[in-house]
Amino acid sequence: MQYGRQFFLLSVIVTINGVWSLSVYAEENKTLFTISPVWHSHYVSEGRDNLPDSRFQSLHALGKWNDLAAGVWYGNGMGNPYREVNVYLEHGFSYSSFEGYIGYNHIKLHDTDESDNEIYAGLTVSPTSSINLALDYTYSTEADGGFAELRVDTEKVLADGQVLITPYIAEGFDFGYASESYDGVNNLKAGVEMVFKVNPNVEFIGSINHSKAHKDVEREEHDDQSWITFGLSLSF
């Protein structure tokens, strides 16, 4: 079953559409709480516009302590009855030069009363000081299928650490998660994620994104997608 969501990452404050935050990198043994309201021009996931002709807004609350994270993500269509809630628990780890995570996510759609349970995991390695390679995978029990994404990004820190710019490119692969009729290459996604740090507790976050449809998306009569996000991250 396809839901309008993407992978939850341990180091991501706003998971939808891949908006990163500087403040999530908490000190060892320090508890971090973050609340992030975000506006989306379109609700895109797995290369598909989940709510055509509708804007979207979300609210993400995250608690993190050491390598454990728990959070709630709520999204609703603007002028649309769509309502979605994600509740997740995640554990992060590191091994050699790799960083990874594994987690569980429960999804509830309140407009249709549907629900799903997902298991997800990922690994990241940095072959250079500025390039990150990541592989993320989510398995849906409702769809009995998975979705994988291979991503490359580079981080640019500007203005004495006050601004973070992250260009990225990612290829998605569907294995019965978004579409039951086709397995294989899904979409090619590229964009730029931005964080502007106002102070240690407040950040403006945003992204500009474009998705190129491959066969899996085209077979469902979806086209290429472009969207932007803008929001605020408050840490305590």
Q: Quote the pTM value.
A: 0.86
Please indicate, yes or no, if residue 4 is contained in any of the structural domains: no
| Strand-strand pairing, 183-199 and 163-175 | antiparallel
Is the distance from CB of 133 to CB of 125 less than 8 angstroms? yes
Looking at residue 72, which CATH number applies to its domain?
Answer: 2.40.160.40
3-class secondary-structure state, position 79: coil
Please indicate, yes or no, if residue 126 is contained in any of the structural domains: yes
Both tokens assigned to 52: 């055509």
User: Nearest-CA neighbor of 222 among 4, 18, 83, 50?
Assistant: 50
Q: Residue 25 sits in which domain range?
A: 16-235
Instruction: Round to whole Å and give the CA distance between 95 and 183.
Output: 31
pLDDT tens, per residue, the chain with 236 residues: 444 434 333 333 334 333 333 334 344 557 689 999 999 999 999 999 999 989 999 999 999 999 999 999 999 999 889 999 999 999 999 988 899 999 999 999 988 889 999 999 999 999 988 899 999 999 999 999 999 999 999 999 999 989 999 999 999 999 999 988 788 999 999 999 999 999 999 999 999 999 999 988 888 878 999 999 999 999 98
The number of C-alpha atoms within 13 Å of 156 and in the hemisphere containing its C-beta is 9
Is the distance from CB of 16 to CB of 107 less than 8 angstroms? no
DSSP string, 85-135: EEEEEEEEEEETTEEEEEEEEEEEETTTTEEEEEEEEEEEE-SSSSEEEEE
SS (H, E, C) 174-207: EEECCCCCCEEEEEEEEEEEEEEEEECCEEEEEE
Residue 18, pLDDT score: 38
Both tokens assigned to 5: 């969501």
State how many domains the chain has: 1
3-class secondary-structure state, position 6: coil
Please indicate, yes or no, if residue 10 is contained in any of the structural domains: no
Q: Cβ contacts of residue 111 below 8 Å, gap of 6+?
A: 81, 82, 83
